[in-house]
Structure 1
């Protein structure tokens, strides 16, 4: 049960956005830029970074939703997401993405954990400064999102189909959020 009274029974961050729509806009805009705008990293790869950080933070709602969003946009689907979650070193991801995921994991522990050696390793695998930047910002943003969702004890569906339905909406329309009072 959430720590505060929410106006809807929407799970996770969606219920929080219904509670305070004026914060939903900027947070959704950030997610839209980081996860969906044009980039040399695919949308699926960026969602995988978000899911990986959310997994490290043990945020069930954010991991489950962004895992579904990543799976819907990666040819290897959920099996790859689960492999990355279970063992990044053994997961069959490109070396550049693995280096970026390692940076994301360090950001999750603390920003100062990222070293010049980590960045150099990512560059050696072909990562650009923009990809390193966006990886760090995705990881940092998802630490915030995870703490927002879990800090207010929001609900998280148990049914994977609920996340698959969210994924369909995100893949199709993006992170635009319509507050509960404006839904048809």
Structure 2
């Protein structure tokens, strides 16, 4: 049960966005740019970074949402997402992505935790300055989103099919379009 009266049964961040649409617009625009805009990292890889940080923060709603969004865009699907969640060091991902996930984990612990060693490792694996920048910003933004969702005790549905359904909608419509009105049990 959310800490405040949202006036909506929409789960997670969707309920918060319905409560304050004037803050939802710029936050959705940021996520649209970070996770779907032009980039040398695939959309699936960027969603994977968001999901990984959300898992580190133990934010069930954000992890479930972005894990489904990543899985829908990665050939290895949810199997890979779960392998990364458990241990990126042993997950079958490119070394560059592994190094970027190390940077994301450092950001999750605290911005000053990102050091020259993590950046040098990512550069050595072929990461660009833009990819490092965006990884830091995705990780920082998702720390904020995770705290927003959990700080107000929003509802996180248990049904993975609901997250998968919204993933298909996000893939086709993006983050800035108004989501369809569906039952709370089916929406992340």
TM over 0.5: yes
1:158 and 2:155 matched: no
Cα deviation, 1:151-184, whole Å, max 9, x if unaligned, reads: 0000000000110011011111000243899xxx
- Measured in 2, the distance between the counterparts of 1:57 and 1:106 equals 12
Correspondence 1:25-174 to 2 at 5 A: 25-174=25-174
- Measured in 1, the distance between the counterparts of 2:20 and 2:52 equals 27
How many residues align? The count is 181
Cα deviation, 1:92-119, whole Å, max 9, x if unaligned, reads: 0000000000000000000000001110
Residue 8 of structure 1: how far off its partner (Å): 1.2
- Measured in 1, the distance between the counterparts of 2:38 and 2:179 equals 26
TM-score with structure 1 length normalisation? 0.96
**Greater Cα offset, 57-66 or 167-176:** 167-176
Q: Is the 8 A contact 1:44 1:73 kept in 2?
A: yes
Unaligned 5+ residue runs, structure 1? none
**Greater Cα offset, 171-180 or 63-72:** 171-180
Residue 79 of structure 1: how far off its partner (Å): 0.1
- Measured in 2, the distance between the counterparts of 1:177 and 1:63 equals 21
1:31 is paired with a residue of what secondary structure? helix
Deviating beyond 6 angstroms after TM superposition, the runs of 4 or more aligned structure 1 residues are: none
- Measured in 1, the distance between the counterparts of 2:180 and 2:101 equals 35
Q: Is the 8 A contact 1:21 1:179 kept in 2?
A: no
Q: Is the 8 A contact 1:103 1:136 kept in 2?
A: yes
Unaligned 5+ residue runs, structure 2? 182-188
Residue 7 of structure 1: how far off its partner (Å): 1.7
- Measured in 1, the distance between the counterparts of 2:76 and 2:38 equals 21
